Amino acid sequence: MAASPAARKRLTREYKAIMENPPPYIQAHPSENNILEWHYIITGPENTPYHGGQYWGTLTFPPNYPFAPPAIRMHTPSGRFQPSSRLCLSISDFHPRSFNPAWEVSTILIGLLSFMTSEEMTTGSVSASEAERKQLAFKSRWWNSTGGGSHIRGEHGAAGKNNIRAGDGGAKFRQEWPELDEENWKWMRENKIDPATGNKVVEPSTAPAPATPCGPQLGLPAGSGHQAHAVVDAVRQQRDAGQSWIFQNKLFLAGAAIFIYVLIARLVGEGVA
């Protein structure tokens, strides 16, 4: 449905105001083809498990805005909201009677951010551990620009641009946030993020391989230095034992050598005579 003149005028004014004075951690703009469809980015605040995360969502305004509230969705998995599900908040279309026409787009998004960083449960919210939310925050840029890793199918036209869920290959995000999409791909390249999984690429170790032994090695267990010394001592004892026998019997050996020499000389002398 087309926006009423009052809604168009109001949303045009609010877009100008949010561009001139954006709320902390928040960016937002209407779709180029439909002023009732707004796209926002919430950057996870410091001191929260969402820190550094890039959370993309939509506000779908009714034609009679500001007399009725928008439907609020967050598409990026966060561990806080079900992706792409309508959120039941006092500022959303779940509670049209409680909506105040004085509330603006910035008011709605600030309220969403405040609810996100709390632990209050409602329709569309989920529970997750702090570690899980931190992991999703780290992978949020990858998810936005690849459609959760479905960009390979998306490149072949498997999903249309109007499909905001993971299967669109990141096409809708790229259409609405081209500059952020470019930054996200640069970030993935610099941080070696696998576009198919969103995980860091583990590179093979560059450490040199251990040197090949040049000969047979003694099979001595590690830490058995005393065993090695025992082997060496045994070899030395055997060597010393052989040397000590020769030393102890050197006189006998010398006498035997002289006797043999004299005997040979006599035999030679008799032969000559």
Name the amino acid, one letter, at 44.
G
Cis peptide before 66 (omega within 30 of 0): yes
Q: Which helix (H) or strand (E) holds 106?
A: helix 105-116
Read off φ and ψ for residue 183, nearest 5 degrees. -65, -40
State how far the Cα of 91 lies from the Cα of 122, in Å rounded to an integer: 13
Of residues 119, 112, 99, the one with CA closest to residue 28: 112
- In this structure, what DSSP letter does residue 163 have? -
Coil/strand/helix, residue 123: coil
**Residue 103: half-sphere exposure toward Cβ, Cα within 13 Å:** 19
Task: Determine how β-strand 54-60 pairs with β-strand 26-31.
Answer: unpaired
Q: Is 264 exposed, middle or buried, given 0-12, 13-18 or 19+ CB atoms closer than 10 A?
A: exposed
Is 88 a known active-site residue? yes
- In this structure, what DSSP letter does residue 219 have? -
Which candidate in 68, 88, 128, 188 is catalytic?
88
State how far the Cα of 81 lies from the Cα of 126, in Å rounded to an integer: 5
Catalytic residues: 88
